[in-house]
Structure 1
Amino acid sequence: MTTFELFFDLVYVITLTRVTQYMAQEHSGLGVLHGVLLLALVWFSWSAYAWLGNQARADLGVVRLGMTLAMAGVFVIALTVPEAWDDSPGGLYGPLVLPCAYLLVRSVHLVIYAHLARGDRGLLRQIAVSWPPVLSGSALLIVGAAIGGRWQTALYAAAIVVDWGGVYLTSRRGSWRIHSAPYFTERHQLFVIIAIGESLIAMAAGATDRPLGVPLLAAGVLGVAAAAGLWWLYFDVVSLLVEHRLAETRGRARLSLAVNAYGYAHFPIAAGIVLTALGVEGVVAYADSGKGLGGFYAGVLCGGAATYLAGLLLFGRISAGVWGPFRLAAVCLLLAWLPAAVVLPPLAGLSGVVVLLAAVAACETWWYAELRRSVRPEQGSNDPV
């Protein structure tokens, strides 16, 4: 992985932050739905360039030029997030700018890929059959933005179904190439780190203009603990296990695993982190209010953590063929905790989520101790890996 790709990822950090801010300002179920739809667009555009970077170095020649243009497009998306559904007076029509920028980002990706695929008939054919769902999905986004209102939400959802579904049907047994399994898994691991880092940014945003006191400090500590729990549940075992599986598989089996486990199962993982971060932001903002956390922040906090764990369950099922019993139990317990989190003080609501995440991490560390040792690098050495 190159430093240019780290630079490229910075615009996604900004975009995730803007989407989280948008949902916080909307403060409604519809706003969360809009935010999740935007996250889907953000995720799929990033995922496309993770595949591109596996085809050729991102910091050289036409790839660097194209990815720089894509960065500008993603930054435009970030700027237009607050106006994705409601245009502000003056200037360009925000709802229409966003899908046009998205179309640019996706088109640049396919054009660069076609340039790199010269001489590879299978890959060129794969790129050719990817254009229809991309263009059809983008057209639905543009029409939805032009119409506005409820139709925009419906057409955005339809666009994602068309784009994701079309790419999936043409890709799972297609001719994409995975030249380096370690690179591919590392890129996706980095996106998870980006999302967790954004959760810390959101937590800090919640502390803006709040007086420094014990409740605020306690909320900060609990927020960091929640982020650490999310990190642990992904990076301690499961990501390493799937990395080994991807490296060991070949041909169509490797492609299928990459498409399903990383291209699609990682979206609920990333979305769950962002929603959990939104909930933690609310806890930090109202830590000393003396009132209950409320339905909105309790819903995104518990629902976000449950979505994250459900994504991990899907990730494990696709890659290893097993369901994680501890994670499944935690999903049920998080949903059961939701009504209590609504009425309890914010710190108590977040404490329950942190305890559940910590319990799952502790149980899995004990239960999968042998598997954990088999997939982790040798411990006990101070030599850098």
Structure 2
Amino acid sequence: MSHPDPPAPAGRTGRVRLPRPMTSGEDSRVTTFELFFDLVYVFAFTQVSRLMAETHSAAGIAQALVILALLWWTWVGYAWLANRLPADQPFLRTGMTVAMIGVFICALTIPEAFDDFDGGLYGPMVFAVAYGVVRLVHLILFFVTATDDPELRRQLTVWSVSSVLPACAALIVGAAIGGEVQVWIWALAIVFEGLGTRALSPGGGGWRIHSVAHWSERHGLIVILALGESIVAIGVGVAREPISVPILLGTATSIVISVLLWWSYFRRLARVGEHTLARLSGGPLVKLARDAYSYVHFLIVAGIVLAALGIEDAMAHITDPEPLGWFGAAALGSGIALFAAGTIWFAVLVGERRPYFRGLEAIVATVSIPLLAVLPPAAALTAAVVLMGLVAGAEGWVHLRADRREAQSSTAA
């Protein structure tokens, strides 16, 4: 990757010059301000889980996933921006602080994003306007910092006019209409922007990836934050219950599920993804960064959030001998399946070998939902651990054998 020219000295106008795009080196890692920025998404993930749990229905889960997808688009946008310029320099830090306020307001209104509470402001409209502010700030920051890249500015212009602004307008229209129509309009806005963004840059367009290390680490950290939600879910389910042996055992089992989710992503896949990105440049690099990370990682995060909901529901009834029920079983099973499907897609895109164990995990997790529904909560959590543990063990064994064969071949050569 070529290094940028050194910044020119400030002229007599006294205008503040922005830093040049990042390159590999000490500034190519995630800044502490980006980590601080992500804290608002921790609260947002918690609110999404709360919406699912309180509605306790398929419709509520669908609404929550729509909200999660909208929030995901905001996070992705700022990830692309911070990959261009260090987020801890004054200009970006100021703008991203405004965005943090907007995201937090969105998170606050998640419980009434589709069903306004009595009194106060109209929740759906507050969410839509705050969301629009977050996206508008992102566009302003990106345009200002792209003054030295005419191709990127053209890409931003086309993208904002044809995708971002229409989607934001649709959210406001949907909030004004309300009811079931609102959900469909917001869902279509997500699909419209997602398809439009990809269609407008089939070969990578004018987008840039300035630091592979930063890009990979950035997405790994958002996965960690989602896993943190699965840990929080354990405590939420039993926070007001007297401690008991079933709670202790359920806690241990639930933490093992979270660890296995972590292992499934970080033990090998995250490293393979970064190494694959590092071998690319130009359009192919941008396409892989967009498809494998901006798009596919949403499935991974959504799977973790759904699994966390299942864990919370199971832990809330961990001392009951009664069956877990369809809601908790569907959340747990579909969450594991969606996470596995996301990692399969990611593995295929980055060239990882033999993701078929993940396919088996996704299938078994899905078809076992009726079984999980009739099992007591503790047994359902144990079944999930057994399934994920077997897949992790088999996959680890296969990769270990393959690595040993490659090492022997290299030695012989």
TM-score normalised by L of structure 1 = 0.95
Q: In 2, Cα distance between the equivalents of 1:113 and 1:308?
A: 31
Where do 5+ consecutive residues of structure 2 fail to align? Answer: 1-29, 407-413
TM-score normalised by L of structure 2 = 0.89
Deviations 1:329-366 (A, max 9, x none): 11111112111110110111111111111111111111
* Contact preservation (8 Å) 2:272, 2:352: no
How many aligned positions are there? 375
Question: Residue 3 of structure 1 is aligned with which of 22, 32, 52?
Answer: 32
Query: What secondary structure does 2:226 align onto?
Result: helix
Q: In 1, Cα distance between the equivalents of 2:81 and 2:190?
A: 20
Alignment-derived partner of residue 50 in structure 2: 21
Amino acid at match of 1:144: G
Decide which moves more: 316-325 or 127-136. Answer: 316-325
Cα distance 1:54–1:172, how it changes in 2: closer, same or farther (>3 A)?
A: farther
TM-fit CA distance, 1:171: 3.2
Question: Residue 202 of structure 1 is aligned with which of 233, 238, 252?
Answer: 233
Alignment-derived partner of residue 177 in structure 2: 147
Deviations 1:152-201 (A, max 9, x none): 11101111011111112123421111111000000000000000011111
Question: Residue 47 of structure 1 is aligned with which of 73, 76, 93?
Answer: 76
* Contact preservation (8 Å) 2:237, 2:316: yes
Q: In 2, Cα distance between the equivalents of 1:218 and 1:282?
A: 15
Question: Residue 66 of structure 1 is aligned with which of 78, 81, 95?
Answer: 95
Q: State how 1:232-243 maps to structure 2 within 5 Å.
A: 232-243=263-274
* Contact preservation (8 Å) 2:269, 2:352: no
Decide which moves more: 11-20 or 360-369. Answer: 360-369
Alignment-derived partner of residue 218 in structure 1: 249
Cα distance 1:154–1:323, how it changes in 2: closer, same or farther (>3 A)?
A: farther
Q: In 2, Cα distance between the equivalents of 1:55 and 1:337?
A: 44
Question: Residue 30 of structure 1 is aligned with which of 16, 40, 59?
Answer: 59
Deviations 1:302-344 (A, max 9, x none): 0011000000011111221766110101111111211111011
* Contact preservation (8 Å) 1:293, 1:346: yes
TM-fit CA distance, 1:108: 0.8
Where do 5+ consecutive residues of structure 1 fail to align? Answer: 376-385
Query: What secondary structure does 1:153 align onto?
Result: helix
Q: In 2, Cα distance between the equivalents of 1:268 and 1:196?
A: 13
Alignment-derived partner of residue 88 in structure 1: 117
Q: In 2, Cα distance between the equivalents of 1:373 and 1:269?
A: 29
- Structure number with greater Rg is 2
2:377 counterpart of 1:346? yes
Query: What secondary structure does 2:368 align onto?
Result: helix
Q: State how 1:94-113 maps to structure 2 within 5 Å.
A: 94-113=123-142
Amino acid at match of 2:106: I
* Backbone CA RMSD of aligned residues: 1.5
Q: In 1, Cα distance between the equivalents of 2:198 and 2:242?
A: 49
